[in-house]
Amino acid sequence: MSKSVARVAQALQEAGLAAEIVEPGPSRTAEEAAAACGCALDQIVKSLIFQGASGRIYLFLTAGGNRLDMARAARAAGEALMRADAETVRRETGFAIGGVAPLGHRQKPEILADPRLLDFERVWAAAGTPRHVFAAEPRALLAACGARMADFTA
pLDDT reported for residue 18: 86
Say whether pTM exceeds 0.75.
yes
Q: Domain coordinates of the chain in residue numbers? A: 3-149
CATH of 3-149, one of 3.40.50.10240, 3.40.50.620, 3.90.960.10, 3.90.180.10: 3.90.960.10
For the chain, the straight-line distance linking the first and the last C-alpha, in angstroms and rounded, comes to 37
Q: Is the pLDDT of residue 133 over 90?
A: yes
The string of DSSP letters for 77-131 reads: HTS-EEEPPHHHHHHHHSS-TT---SS--SSPPEEEE-GGGGGSS-EEEE-SSTT
Q: Kind and range of the H or E element at 144?
A: helix 138-144
Confidence of residue 148 (pLDDT cuts 50, 70, 90): very high
Give CA–CA dist 68/144, Å, rounded. Answer: 22
Interval 63-83 mean pLDDT: 98
Alpha-carbon Rg for the chain, nearest whole angstrom, is 14
